[in-house]
Amino acid sequence: MKKFKKIFAHLALIPMSLAASTTEVNLQDVNPLGAGVGLPELIKKIFDGLSVLLIAIVPIMIIIGAFQMMFSAGDPVKFAKGQKTIVYAVIGLAVLLLSQGIVAIVERILLSGV
């Protein structure tokens, strides 16, 4: 009886494998970003998305630095840590804004054909 079940199971799988091997699949390469969107546009969209995220993080980091300064309880090390947090958040924002400006300048130069 076990042999019969085993043979029947194998025989039942044969038509499935034949059907799978003869099935025609038409796949199209679809660009999820839309027609005419290439690598430069993809990089720009990623950069813009990250910029929005990072610009939203800067005020949070400034608030964290302010809390570190307020709750330092007179400890100069903790107060300095809060100051550094605020300074680094502002430096990060400046770098982010400068990088966006540099990208815009390079784009303008490359697209103008100079």
Spatial separation of the C-alpha atoms in residues 10 and 16, rounded to whole Å: 10
* pLDDT tens by residue, the chain, 114 residues: 777 777 777 777 777 666 665 557 777 777 777 777 777 777 788 888 899 999 999 999 999 999 999 999 989 999 999 999 999 999 999 999 998 888 888 878 887 865
Task: Say if 48 falls within a structural domain.
Answer: yes
- Whether 103 is covered by a domain: the verdict is yes
Residue 62 counted as domain residue: yes
Q: What domain range includes position 47?
A: 37-114
Q: Is 63 helix (H, G, I), strand (E, B) or coil?
A: helix
Residue 87 resides in a domain: yes
Q: How far is residue 50's CA from residue 46's CA, in Å, rounded to a whole number? A: 6
- Describe the chain by its helix, strand, coil percentages, rounded to 5: 80, 0, 20
Domain count, the chain: 1
Question: For residue 108, is it within any domain?
Answer: yes
Contacts of 65 (CB under 8 A, 6+ apart): 82, 83, 84, 85, 86, 89
pTM listed for this prediction: 0.61
**Residue linked to tokens 């490359």:** 110
Q: Is residue 25 part of a domain?
A: no
Contact of 61 with 89, CB cutoff 8 Å: yes
